[in-house]
Amino acid sequence: MAKKEKKKEKNNELKKEKKFDLSKLLGIFKKVKFKKAEKGKKINLKEIINNIKNFKQLEKKKKIVLLGGFLLFIILIVGIIFFIPRFTTKRLKIEKEAKSASISDLFLYVPPDAFQYKKTFTIKPLKENSAEYQNLKTMGNFYGPIYEIIPDDKKEESSLKPIKIKYRIPMDLYYGDNFNNFSIIYASDDNPPIIKKLPGCEIYKDESLGSYVVQANTFHFSKFGLYVDPSPKEVSFGLKTLIDKPPSLEPDLLLVPGIDNNFLGFIPNTQTINNIYGENVWSLYFPNRTIWYYKYPLLETKPKSYMDAFFGYYIRTGSNSYLEFEAERFASELKAKQNKQFDIITQGIGSLIVRYALEKHPEIKNVRTISMFSPPNKGINTVNPIYYNVIYKKSPEVIELTYGLNKEEYNSLFLNISSKIELISSYYKELLPDSKFIKKINSLERRKDIKYYIYTGTIPDITIHIKNTKLATFYPEFISGYGDGLVTIDSAKLDGAKMYTFKLPYNKLFSDNNVLKLLQKNLSYGIEKVNIPEIKDDNFPENKKELSKKIITEEKKKEVISEIYKKPIKYQKENLLNFSEQLLYLNNITYGKIYNLNGNVLLITNKGIFDLDGKNILNKKTLGSLEYKNRLYVTTNDGVYAIDNSSHEFIKIRNIDFDIHDNVFYLPEIRKYIYVDYADGLAKISENDQLIDTKKLFIGLKVLNNDYYIILGDKILKRKDGQWKTVVTKSGIESIIKKDIDYFVDYFSRSYYIYLLTSDYKLLVYDTKNSKVQILGDSDVGKLKMLENNDKLWIFDKNYITYIDMKNKVFPGEYQTFNKLDIIDVTYYDKNSFLIFIKKDGGFELWIAHY
């Protein structure tokens, strides 16, 4: 009996606990004191309950107080509901079958057999008030929560199949189906972390979630988050004009790129020195041809409109091949341009797209030749995730023992493969040697009415020795003599194609002079030549440079322009500069930019950065360079490097991946970045995630008196008080002089005088104090660069120099011309001399020139 009564009492207690007890719920308010007339009076719970029951009879003031209390309570509960999940963790257990998991806005899908054995992971968000979160958000522009995925067994390994990561899109930032302003971004565990946007992301509506998502493929876990472009733009794909030229007898060039952004040929930091497009490698070798390129989202995010079209193609054909889909779109673009004749130049994956389009559609008749750089005609091994798993984050000691690679070689191989498999994660299956696509494209018949040319290398893009190791069967692309780092010679071969090999890696082929000369020769066959009679009498001063007898015309006398400087009555040809000492000779480069750090002279080229000994001290692609307080800061794909006059080696000061931008400039002291990204020849300029301007002609970044200036085609900006403020505009100058001018190419200022150089050979002086403008030079000055030296402002062109005397406010009219050389760049050397980089007789020379 005692036991039964005890059990009965226990059950009664449990029932009581299950009952909703309002007094317990409101008990948290017992310690809360309200400031009323009677200070210190505590809340009477019975009085509150009684007030709730008799709510209608209460005074208006008491009703408001009671409702306010309940509103505060509800907000607190709702906040707890939404706040706590952001800091909860989730576990993902992976065995043989497919698994998925979600936490807040992040969704994961792991395919069957992605790992060789049972594996579990913990998914957790970083705390938003943590130093790590704040650091990553600053460095990588993460938007919202950042999630870390940690293997519970602490073993870092890659998956054998791609893992899909989805992130829910905030709809208030979704601007439409043609916008691709979302990406998934990840951060490595390195210190400092490497931060990258995952290439080839996809935006679509996930019906199972009922929301829009951005999705990416990855083969390893890390920290992931959402990237939102602060200046979204509507994107379009297809044939785009790169460089427009007048019609000629030569066919247009059409570039179809692969994974290398440099393939389009633009030379960094030269976009507007001589023309609106800047220096372009293809235009240098094919100066009379209009150049097109085929734009498709290989690396950038695919917008919803693109994904809708792809899903439609899949429904119609049953094919889920991105390359087939892209080839069909490319074929449609060619058919729409039947009035054009093309010589097509391709690289990597682009070769497969073009081949498939033309060989499947023999009705396309407006293509004359296909020139393929490193085409993976029989597939590639570098994107095989099974091979990648073998080398992924293995101990260097184990690698050396098993495969004979030292630590440096292993690191080079691992980073190289990691980069390539990330870049082509959306297409990797189609590029494997035994893929359906490779078999299908090689079953198509070659076009007999089109000439095929193949250019491939025999030296890998990294130096490793795997020829007699087990890795040779995995990665023959990295064996010297067999591959160029992207493809093997055997994979590039194609029946019916003329093939050339060079002792170069794949990423150097399309910038090498010997290769491009051969390409130029091959594409000149069959083009009719027309002899144009020589023009013997040319009086244009900008062409002839014979200005010694030039007189100020009556038209200039009538111009209502204030006189700030005294202008010349006549012009005198003089020997202004003497080339006294040659410091360096280089060949096989396409451009150069000089820096003088108090005697430590450096030359930035497309082949790396050279010192005066001709040593390549930084063999990397330069995205941007800036001299500040006698120190040079160089931005490359993998970070920021610095050097001063006391050193002959660069020091890496920032470890960040900048592959997502065309140009990047690091601003020291304030530790900001200027990002420049081009679309259709115009630039979007940002400082970190803050938009500065868009759809502008970007000329360059300049430092004057330790102040930063951005030169755009229609305005000059100065960074002041943490903001970019307009100094002068093209339209403002035109309104003063009542005359149109072309875009700005250089800027200089001293005191309250601003000096502007324009692309139509004008030098303008702007007196900001008195709002006066004078056209000081008009077709009698160059347009390459302005440099101040010893109170003189020198104006340089490719083969012409002159100067103005700033101290005495005089333009003397003295000039010098050069007939057998082209000036590429100039910089200050000492008080009475310059360093001048010239192109002469096919080579490049660096000289000291005195005056």
Given a cut of 70, is residue 784 above it in pLDDT?
A: yes
User: What pLDDT, in 10s, does the model give residues 454-465?
Assistant: 999 999 999 898
Least confident stretch, 20-29, 154-163, 506-515, 659-668: 20-29
Residue 105 is predicted with a pLDDT of 85
From residue 282, give the alpha-carbon distance in Å to each of 148, 266, 292, 470, 517: 44, 8, 11, 40, 11
Distance CA 803, CA 816 (A): 10
User: For 547-576+697-817, CATH number?
Assistant: 2.40.10.480
User: For 88-228, CATH number?
Assistant: 2.60.220.30
Distance CA 351, CA 323 (A): 11
Q: What is the mean pLDDT of residues 21-26?
A: 42
Residue 404 is predicted with a pLDDT of 84
Does residue 790 or residue 98 have the better pLDDT?
790
User: What pLDDT, in 10s, does the model give residues 197-240?
Assistant: 999 999 999 988 889 999 999 998 889 999 998 888 889 999 99
User: What pLDDT, in 10s, does the model give residues 802-826?
Assistant: 999 999 999 999 999 888 788 999 9
Residue 282 is predicted with a pLDDT of 92
Band of the pLDDT at 269, cuts 50, 70, 90? Answer: low
Distance CA 255, CA 346 (A): 6
Band of the pLDDT at 49, cuts 50, 70, 90? Answer: low
Residue 247 is predicted with a pLDDT of 82
Picking from 429, 440, 208, 442, the residue whose alpha carbon sits closest to that of residue 317 is: 440
Band of the pLDDT at 101, cuts 50, 70, 90? Answer: low
User: What pLDDT, in 10s, does the model give residues 686-732?
Assistant: 999 899 999 999 999 999 999 999 999 999 999 998 999 999 999 99
Class of the domain covering 238-524: alpha beta
Any idea where the domains of the chain sit in the sequence? 25-87, 88-228, 238-524, 547-576+697-817
Work out the burial of residue 473: count CB atoms within 10 Å of its CB; fewer than 13 is exposed, 13-18 middle, 19 or more buried: exposed
List the strands of the sheet with 707-712, edge to edge.
698-704, 707-712, 715-720, 723-729
User: What pLDDT, in 10s, does the model give residues 377-413?
Assistant: 999 999 999 999 888 888 888 888 888 888 888 888 9
Q: Which DSSP category does 157 fall into? A: -
Q: What percent of the chain has pLDDT over 70?
A: 84
Picking from 838, 842, 803, the residue whose alpha carbon sits closest to that of residue 818 is: 838
Given a cut of 50, is residue 84 above it in pLDDT?
A: no
Distance CA 693, CA 723 (A): 12
Q: What is the per-residue DSSP string for 44-102?
A: -HHHHHHHHHTGGGS-HHHHHHHHHHHHHHHHHHHHHHHHGGGG--EEEEESSS-EEEE
**At residue 696, what is the residue type?**
K
Helix (H, G, I), strand (E, B) or coil at 325: helix
